[in-house]
Structure 1
Amino acid sequence: MPSDPMQPLSSKENSLFRQVVKCYEDKHYKKGLKAADQILRAHPNHGDTQAMKALILNSTGKGDEAFTLCKEALKNNMKSHITWHVYGLLYRSVKNYEEAIKAYKFALRLEPEQANILRDLALLQIQMRDYKGYLDSRTKMLSQRPALRQNWTGVAIAHHLLNNYQAAEKILTTYEETLKQKPSKSDIEHSEAGLYKISIIAESGDKERALKELERILKDTLDRASALEMRAELLLELGRKEDAEKAYRTLLDRNNERRAYYEGLEKALGLDRSDPSAHSQLMELYNSYAAKSQRVDAARRIPLDFLTGDDFRQATDRYLQQMFKKGVPSTFNNIKALYADPAKKAVIEELVLGYASGTSMNGSANGETNGTSDRFEESVLYFLAQHYNYHLSRDLQKAMEYIDKLIERNPKSVDYNQTKARIFKHYGNITKAAETINHARELDLKDRYINTKCAKYQLRNNENDVALNTMSKFTRNEATGGPLGDLHDMQCLWYLTEDGEAYLRQRNLGLALKRFTAVADIFDIWQEDQFDFHAFSLRKGQIRAYIDMIRWEDHLREHPFFTRAALSAINIYLQLADNQGLSNGTEAAASQQDATERKKAQKKAKKELEKLAKQEAEKKAKKANPPKDDGETKKEDTDPNGLKLLETKEPLEAALRFLTPLLEFSPKNIDAQNIGFEVHFRRKKYLLALKCLNAARAIDPENPKLHEQAIRFRQAMNETKDLPDTVAKAIEETFDIVPADADLKAYNSEWRQKHADSPAHQQSALNVQYLLDNRTKGECEADLKKLLESASITMEQAANGLEYLDEWKSDATARNEYRSAASQKWPQATVFLQ
C-alpha cells in the first residue's frame, strides 16, 4: 500500500530530509540524491522529498526528468509550499519567469510568511521589471524583518523605480530615525544610503534640499569624490556660481586630467567657448593649471578645441613640440578629433611638415629651430604617417613613405610595424596587412594588445584557424573546448563577432550563425546575471551602482556588438528563407560560384570538418576520464558545425530573436530598419514592413536601400489582391514614399538622375532596374562596371557591386570583368582578386 504523502516523516527521516536540503545548497548532488532515495524507499510518494530530488536532478543537467518528478510531487501533495517553490525554481532555471512567478505566488498562498519564497518572488519581479509587484513583495519582507536595513532599502528602491520619490525618501528617513545610535564613520552601507537618498531628492527636482542634505553628511561620507562631484553639480544647477567655482577647483586639485571638471569650472565662471571674447580668460584659466606641472595634459590639450586663427596655431605649436620632444606615441590619437575642422587640420599639417623639414615655423615655441634629436624626428615622422593614413587626410602613398623611413630607422618597433599593417588594410590589401601585423606581434610575444590586433587582422583575412592559434598564446588552452572554449567562457564578443563575419564571407553559414548565436547568448547571460546583484547589492549596500546597473540593463541590447551580430545573423536567416538548399552551410553560394570557387569551398569545408572531428575526439577522450567533481555538469556541444541551427524550418521566425530587440533598442539604426523590412516583407507582415520603411525614411529619406525597398513594396501592393480591407486601407493611408499610380520604371529613372553623382545611389537604381525587368541584366552589368570610373566611388562601394552581381546571378565572365576593372583602380585590394 503506497504511503500517504501528507504523513509526517520520522525524526531520522526528517534529519535525512534536512541533509538533502543542505547537500543541494552545498552542491553535493550525489550525496543529496542518495539521501533522497533513502527517504523515498520508505515513503515513495513523499512530495517534498520528490521535489528536492527534482531540484538536484535539474542541477545535474537532467531538466526533463526533474520536471516530470516535480509534477508527480505536486500530484502527491498539492498543498505543500515546498513543492510549489521548487516548481517555480525549475521554471526559473529555464527562464520561464512568468510561470515561475505563478508558482511562487501559489506557494505563498499556502505559506504567506515563508521568507525564502517571498525573496525569490521579489528577485523575479525586479528581473521582469514588475515594479509594483516588487514593491508589494518588499513591503511584506519589511514587515517580517524590520530590523534589517536592506529590507528598508529594498522598499525605497521599489518606490524610486516607480518614480515615487517622496515615498522612497520617507522610507530611508524613517529607518534613520529608528536607529538608537549613530552608525560609525566606517559604516559603508550607511554612507552609501545617505548619498542614495540625496540622489533621490535631486532626481525629484528639489535641488536646494538635496544640497542641504549633502552639506550635512559631506564630512562623514566615505565616497568623497562622488560627494564632491554631486555638490559641485548641484551648486551649478542652483546658479550659485561662486561656490560652484570653488567646488570645481577643489575637484581639479584632486584630479587635474578630468575634462568634466574643467567644463564645470568654465560654466561656473560664465565662460562660453563659442564666444571669441572669452578666449583670453579661458586661456588664462588653462594656463594657470598647465603651469602647475609639466605633466598636465588636459589643460594644454583642451584649449585647442576652441581656439582659432593665430591663437590656435601658437597653442598647437607649443603642444605638438612638447609632445614630440617627449616622444609620446599617442599624440596623433590625442588630437585627431580636431580634424573635423578643415582649417585646423590644415594648420596642423603645415606645422608638422615644417618640423619634418627642420625649419622653424611662424609661431614656433621660443622661435627656435625644432630639435635634431632622434626622438623628436621619429615622433614627427610617426605623426605624419598616421596623419596621411587617417580618413580625413588620407594619402596612403605618403603614409607608406613615412612609415618605411621609420622602420628603416627602427625595424623592431611594434608601433611602426602595426601602423604599416593599418596602411595596408586601408589599401585593401588584407593579406599583406595580416602578414605585417603578425611580424609586429613576433617582435614582442608578451604584448597581449598586439597579439589581439594580429588575430583581428587574421580574421579579416579569413584565416580563422590561424587567428585562433594566435589567440591561444594568451588563453587557458586546457579549458573545455580549447582556446575557443576559453574565449566563449571569457565572453570575448569582438572575437566571436569577427570570427562569425569571417565564416560568413567564406559562405560557411553554419559556423557563422553559431558564432552570432553565441554573441546573443552572452547578452542573455548578462541579462540573467542580474539575479546575482538583486540580492548582493542590497546586502552590501551598493545602491547607487545597483540603480545604474538596472538602468544600463534596460538598454543592454543597444550595444554595438549585439547590433553587428544581429544584422549578420538575420542576413543568414534571410538567405535560408530564400534558398532552403543552403542548410549544409558550406555550399551557400554554389549556384553563384564557378567550378574553381566551388572546389576551394569544398576543400576548405573538408579541412574544417576534419578539425572539428579531431576536437570531438579530444572531447570524448576527456569525457572518458572526467574530473572527480560533484559540481554542475558541463554541457556538451551537440552542434559543433552549427548545422542544426541551419536546419530550422522557419528561418524568418528564428530571425525574430535578433530582429525584435534590434528594432526595439536601435530604432535609429538605418541598417536595422532596412533588414527589418526584409524579414517582415518575406513574412508577408506588410504593416510591420511598412513601419520599417517609414522609420527608415525618418532617419534618411534619401537612403539607397530605402529606395529599392519602397519600389519593391509598391510593386507588391500593386500585384497583391487578397489583402484584408483594414490592412489595405492602412497601407493606402500611410505609404506615400512611392505614389500608388507611379510608373515604377520612370520613377526609378528620375531618382537615378537626381542622384547622378552618388555611386551608391546609382547602384541601387541599377538594382531596381534589374528587379523591374531582368531582361536588362546585361545593361545593368555594363553600367555597374562603368560606375568604377567615377572619381567619388569608394573601395567599399565597389565591393558592394560584387554583391549585386551575385544577386543578379551574373555569369563568371561579367564578374571577372568587374573585378578586373576594380583591380586596376585598387591594385592592392584583395577583395577584387580573381
Structure 2
Amino acid sequence: MPPAGIPPSRALPLKESGLFKEVLHYYEDRQLKKGLKTADAILKKFPNHGETLCMKGLILTHLGRREEGLELVKQGVRLDLTSHICWHVFGLIQKGQKNYEEALKSYTQALRFDKENMNILRDAAHLQTQLRLYDGLVETRHTLLRLRPQLRQNWIALAVAYHLSGNLAEAKSVLEQYERIVKNVPDYDVEMSEILLYHVRVLEELGEYADALSLLDANAKSRAIIDRVAIQEFRARILSKAGKDEAQQAWQGLIEQNPNCWDYYKGYLASRGIDLEAITDEQRDQALHSLHDFSAQFPKASAPLRIALEIAQGDKFTKLVQPYLKTRLEKGVPSLFADLKSLYRSSSKRDTIEQTVTSLLSTLVHPATSPSPPDTDPTEYIWALYYLAQHHSFLGSHKKAIELLDEAIGHTPTLPELYMFKARVLKRAGDPFGAAKNMDLARTLDLQDRFLNTKAGKYRLRAGLIDEAVEVFGLFTKKDAPSPSQDLEDMQSLIYLTEEADAQLRNGNLAMALKKYDAIHRIFDVFEDDQFDFHGYSVRKFTINIYLNLIKWEDNLRSHPAYVHSAIEASRILVKVHDDPSLATKPSSESELSKKQKKKAKRAEKKVQEEAKKANQNSANEDKGLDIGPLKDEDPDGTKLLQASDPLERAAKVLKPLTTMAKDNIDAWLAIHDVAVRRKRYLQAIQALNRAHALNADSPELHFRLVDFQRRWTSLTDKPSENAASAALSAIQKLIPDEVSLEVFNSQYLQRHSSRADAVLAAAKVSRTLGAPREEVEASIFTALNADTELKLETALAIVAFLTEIRSQRAEEFRAACRAKFQLSTLFVPPEDLAAAQKAVVQKDPVADAVEEKAEIIS
C-alpha cells in the first residue's frame, strides 16, 4: 500500500523511491548523465511515473535536447496533475523560455499541493517581481518570512515588497522589527550598512526627516553605516528637505570633497533658497558671489565657473566668459563648444561668445603687412578657428564654417578633429559623401584609433556604403566572429544597429532595415529579461538601494531613444507592406543578397557550426542551461521577416510601449494612429490624433492624417457600435469642424502656414488625396521655392520623393532649383551622379595621400 496521501500512480517501491531521490540529487549536483541513466532505470519498470518523466525531461533540456525534454515534461504533468514536482519542473521550463506568465501559473499550481515549499515560493516571488505583481509578491514574501524568520534576507525581501507595492509605512515597520531582533553584527558589516541606508531612504521618502536624520547620525557615529560619501549625501539632501540651517554646511562639505560635481552646487544654492530654474535678480547676485568664492577656494574646479555662466547676464556674463574661453582655447579643449552649447538658448549670450572668440582670433592673426607680427600661439589659434567653425555650423552658416576649417587645415593638416568636424558640417549641409570622405581623412591620421575608425564607419553608413562601413568596423571586432555585423549585434551596439537600419532604409532595402530594427527590439527584450537574476541576487547580497534604482530604470526601459526610433521606423515599414504587399515579394537588387554576401553568410554559418561542434566535444556533460541559446539565422536577408503574416499586429506590438514611454513624441502618436486606423481600431486612432494635436496642432503630418481619417470614416460601410461611433464622431468634429469641407480645411491650413515648406508639402499631399489635378498639385508644391518660404534640406528631399512618387515631369526641375539653393548638398544630383559620388568616398585622392604622408613624418 502506498503511504497515506500519495496517489497510487505516484507511489514507487522502496528501491525505485530511493532511485528517484538519487535523480533529484544528481540534478542538483549537475551530474546530468548519471541522473538521466537513473531516471531511465525507474521508467523501465514504471513508464508512466509522471514525476520521473518530468525530471528526465528537465535533464534532457539541460543537455540541449530541448524539444524532446519539453514533450516529456508535458507528458509527466498530464500523468500526475496533483504533483508539486511536476508543476515545479514545468514552471522551470517555461521560465527558461522567458514565458513568465505561464511559469507563474505553474508555480501557483505547485503551491496548491505543497504550500510551504521554499524553493517554489522563492521562484514565485521572483516571477511576481518580474511581472510587477506586487500585491501577490507581498503575500509570498510574508509566507517565506513566516516559514524561515531566522533568515535576515526574508525580512529585507518583505520590506522591499512593501516598498515596491507603494506601502512605505509597512516597509518601515518591517525594517524596525528586523533591527530590533538582529544581534551580534560584526564591525564594518557591509550588508548591515546597506540595510540601514535603505531604512534611511524609506524614512526620507515618507517625509519623516527628523527620524531619518536621527537614524543616519546614530549609525554613522557608531560606524554601522560605512559608506561615508553616502552618509554625507543623504544628510545634505534630508537637511535641505527638512529646511534645516545645517544643510548649507553639509553641501559645502560635499563640495570640498568633489568640487566638480554640479549637483552639490545646486544643492548648496537650493539650501540658501536659490532655485536655478526660477532665479530672481537679487538671487542672481547672491549665487554669483557664492560661486566666485568657490572658484577662489578651488581654482582648478571648472564647475563653479561654468554654473556662473548659466546664471550671469549682461556685462557680468561678458566678464566671466572671456577668461573661461581664453583658458580653454589655450589648453586646446576640443569639447569646449559642446560645453557652452546650452548657453546658446540666449541670443545675447550667443552673440557675446561669438564676439569674444572673434576678437581673440583677431589678436592671434596679425596682418601680413605688419612689420613685426606678434608671437602667435598656434594651439590657441587653431582651436579658436575650430570653435568658430562649430559656432557658425550650429547657426546654419555652413559655408563660413568650412572656410574657417579649411584655414585651420592649411595651418595644421594633421589634426583629426578638423577633418571630423568638416565631415559633420558637410553632413548637415546635405553632402554625406563628402562627409564620409573627410571622416576617412581623419581616420588615416591615426589608423590605430578605434574612435576615428568607428566614426568613419558611421559616416560610410550614412553615405549608403554599408559593405564598406562593415569593413572598417571589422578592424576592431573579434576576428573569430562570423562577421563584424554579427559581432556588433552580439555586443548589443544600439548605435551601430540603428545607423545600419537607417542606411538600409535609405537604400530602399526594407527587409534588411526591418531585420536590424527587429534586432534592436530583441536587445531590449534581453535587457528586460536580464533583470530577473537580480530579484534574488540583490536581496541575498543586500544591495537594496541600487536594486530599487534598477527596477525604476527597467520600468522606463523602452523610453530609450533607440527603441522609440526603431519602433516608429519598423511600424512605418510594416504599414507600407500592409498597404502594398508586393513590397515584400518584389525582387530587387537591394533586397537580394549578392553572390559575395551569400558566400560570406555560408562561411559564417559553417564557422559557427564548427565552433558549436568543438564545444560539444570538449564538454559532453556540461550543463547547457534552460535558456534558449543563439539560433541559426534562417533569414540572412530579412525577406522572411518582411513577408511574415499580420504586419499590423507586429507593428502594434512594438508601438504599444510608446503609449506610456513616449507620451511627448508626436511621431509616436502618428505611428500609433497609422496602425490603429488600418486595424479598424477607430477609437484608438482618434485618441492618438488627439494626443498628437495636443502636442502640436499645426503639425503638417497631423494635418494630412486628420483629412485621411475623415475620409476613411465617412466612407465606412460597417460603422462600429453606436457608443463607439458617437465618441469617434464627437472627437473628429473637435479636430475638423463639421461645417467645413475637406478642401476648405486644407486651403485654410495652407493659408495659415504658407511660409513653411513642410506645410506646403502636407497641403499638396492632401490635395492629391482629394483628387486635385497633378498640375495643380505641382503648382502648389513649387511655392515652397518662394523667397518668403522657409525650405529646409529634409523638406526639400521629401518634396523630391513626393514628386517622384506621383511621377511628376517637373521633379528634375525642382531638383535643379534645390541644387542652386543648397549649394553644398550632393543629394539633388541625378541618380547616376550619386553612384559616382558614393564610389569616390573609398577612393584615395592626392589630399588623402598628403595627409597620410604628413602624419607618418610627424610620428
Whether 2:263 is the aligned partner of 1:260: answer: yes
Are residues 371 and 232 of structure 1, via their aligned partners in 2, closer, same or farther at CA, if it must alter by over 3 Å? farther
Q: Could you tell me whether the CA contact under 8 Å between 1:510 and 1:585 is conserved in 2?
A: no
How much does 1:527 deviate? 0.9
Equivalent residue number for residue 781 of structure 2: 784
Answering whether residue 129 of structure 2 is matched by residue 129 of structure 1, we say no
CA offset digits 1:173-195 (Å, max 9, x no partner) = 111111232x2332111111111
Q: Match for 1:612 among 586, 601, 615? A: 601
2:289 corresponding residue in structure 1: 284
Do structure 1's residue 93 and structure 2's residue 105 form an aligned pair? Answer: no
Q: Aligned AA for 1:50?
A: L
Q: Is the 8 A contact 1:586 1:605 kept in 2?
A: no
Deviation at 1:54, TM superposition (A): 1.6
Name the counterpart of 1:213.
215
Matched, 1:351 2:352: no
1:302 aligns with 2:307: yes
Q: How far off is 1:504 after superposition?
A: 1.2
Per the alignment, residue 39 of structure 2 pairs with 36
CA drift of 1:299 comes to: 1.6
Cα separation, 2, equivalents of 1:18 and 1:381: 77
For the pair 1:759 / 2:757, whether they are aligned, the reply is yes
Matched with 1:516 is 517
Three-state SS of the structure 1 residue aligned to 2:361 is helix
Match of 2:4 in 1: none
Matches within 5 A, 1:463-612: 463-479=465-481, 481-584=482-585, 587=588, 601=590, 608-609=597-598, 611-612=600-601
Q: How does 1:408-427 map to 2 (within 5 A)?
A: 408-427=410-429
Paired residue type of 1:441: R
Report the Cα offset of residue 12 of structure 1: 7.8
Which residue of the other structure, out of 826, 831, 847, is the alignment partner of 1:830?
826
Alignment partners' CA distance in 2, 1:470 and 1:262: 44
The structure showing larger relative contact order (alpha-carbon pairs under 8 Å, at least 6 residues apart) is 2
1:86-139 Cα offsets, whole Å, 9 max, x none, are 111222223332222121111112122211111111111111111111111111
Report what 2:252 is aligned to: 249
Task: Specify whether residues 396 and 231 from structure 1 end up closer, same or farther in structure 2 by C-alpha distance, changes over 3 A only.
Answer: same
Task: Give 5+ residue unaligned stretches, structure 2.
Answer: 1-6, 366-372, 831-859
The whole-number CA distance in structure 1 between the counterparts of 2:15 and 2:411 is 85
Q: Secondary structure at the match of 2:470?
A: helix
Distance 1:789 1:604 in 2: 44
**Alpha-carbon distance between aligned partners in 2 of 1:585 and 1:284, rounded to the nearest angstrom:** 69
Task: Within 5 Å, give how 1:646-665 maps onto structure 2.
Answer: 646-665=642-661
Say whether the 8 Å CA contact 2:23–2:36 is kept in structure 1: no
* Distance (whole Å) between structure 2 residues aligned to residue 95 and residue 809 of structure 1: 47
Contact 1:508 1:586 in 2 (8 A): no
Q: Structure 1 unaligned runs (5+)? A: 361-368, 588-599
State which drifts further: 371-380 or 749-758.
371-380
Q: Is the 8 A contact 1:677 1:692 kept in 2?
A: yes
For 1:238, the aligned partner's letter is: A
The 1-side partners of 2:312 and 2:483 are apart by: 54
The answer on whether the counterparts of 1:20 and 1:36 sit within 8 Å (CA) in structure 2 is: no
Aligned twin of 2:72: 69
| 1:403-453 per-position Cα deviation (integer Å, ceiling 9, x unaligned) | 122222222212122111111111211011112112212322332222222
Residue type matched to 1:799 in 2? Answer: L
Matched letter for residue 262 of structure 1: Y
> Which residue in the other structure is 1:366 paired with?
none
| Structure 1 residue 809: Cα displacement | 3.1
Cα gap change, 1:734 to 1:789, in 2 (>3 Å)? closer
Listed one character per residue, the Cα deviations across residues 43-62 of structure 1 (whole Å, up to 9, x for unaligned) are 32232222122223334554
Residue 235 of structure 1 corresponds to which residue in structure 2? Answer: 239
CA distance in 1, matches of 2:107, 2:45: 29
Deviation at 1:608, TM superposition (A): 4.3
Contact kept? 1:17, 1:36, Cα under 8 Å: no
Residue of structure 2 in register with 1:590 after alignment: none
CA distance in 1, matches of 2:530, 2:418: 42
The 1:477–1:320 alpha-carbon spacing in structure 2 relative to 1, beyond 3 Å, is same
Q: Indicate the SS of the match to 2:827.
A: helix
* Match 1:164 to one of 162, 167, 172: 167
What are the residue-to-residue correspondences of 1:311-350 with 2, within 5 Å? Answer: 311-350=316-355
**Post-superposition shift, 1:801?**
1.2
Query: Which 4+ runs in 1 deviate beyond 6 A?
Result: none
Q: Match of 2:773, SS?
A: helix
Residue 440 of structure 1 pairs with residue 478 of structure 2: no
* CA-to-aligned-CA distance 1:682-705 (integer Å, 9 cap, x gap): 111111111111111111111111
Q: Who is 1:689 aligned against?
A: 685
Measured in 1, the distance between the counterparts of 2:104 and 2:820 equals 65
Q: 1:817 aligns with which of 801, 805, 813?
A: 813
Amino acid at match of 2:727: A
Hey, what does 1:56 align to over in structure 2?
59
| Corresponding pairs, count | 804
Q: Hey, what's the Cα distance between the residues in 1 that align with 2:114 and 2:235?
A: 47
Q: Are 2:760 and 2:783, in contact at CA under 8 Å, matched by a contact in 1?
A: no
Inter-partner Cα distance in structure 1 for 2:288 and 2:696: 40
User: Whole-Å Cα distance in 2 between the matches of residues 826 and 32 of structure 1?
Assistant: 73
- The Cα offsets for residues 585-625 of structure 1, whole Å up to 9 and x where unpaired, read as 764xxxxxxxxxxxx64787565445434544544565665
- State the partner residue of 1:117: 120
Q: 1:91 to 1:603 in 2, by over 3 A?
A: closer
Alignment-derived partner of residue 399 in structure 2: 397
The match for 2:727 is 730
Contact 2:510 2:573 in 1 (8 A): yes
8 Å contact 2:577–2:647 — kept in the other structure?
Answer: yes
Contact kept, 8 Å, 2:510 with 2:591, in 1: the verdict is no
- 1:755 and 1:778 mapped to 2: Cα distance? 21
1:678 matched to 2:674? The reply is: yes
Cα–Cα, structure 1 residues 322 and 780, in superposed 2: closer, same or farther, change >3 Å? same
Q: CA offsets, 1:180-221, max 9 Å, x none?
A: 32x233211111111111111111122222222222222322
Post-superposition shift, 1:265? 1.2
Q: Which amino acid aligns with 1:784?
A: I
Tell me which amino acid in the other structure corresponds to 2:824: Q
Partner of 2:22: 18
1:348 is displaced (CA, Å) by: 0.6
Q: Which amino acid aligns with 1:290?
A: S
What is the DSSP-based 3-state SS (H/G/I as helix, E as strand, rest coil) of the residue aligned with 1:473?
coil
Between the aligned partners of 2:254 and 2:102, the Cα distance in structure 1 is 51
Cα distance, 1:293 vs. partner?
Answer: 4.0
TM-score (structure 2 length as normaliser): 0.89
Given the superposition, is the C-alpha separation of residues 234 and 831 from structure 1 closer, same or farther in structure 2, using an over 3 Å criterion?
A: same
Distance in 2, matches of 1:21 and 1:656, equals 47
| Change in CA separation of 1:328 and 1:47 when aligned onto 2, cut-off 3 Å | same
Alpha-carbon distance between aligned partners in 2 of 1:140 and 1:287, rounded to the nearest angstrom:
58
Deviation by residue 1:62-84 (Cα, 9 ceiling, x = unmatched)? 44433321121123333321111
Of 289-298 and 308-317, the range deviating more from structure 2: 289-298
Identity of aligned residues (%): 34
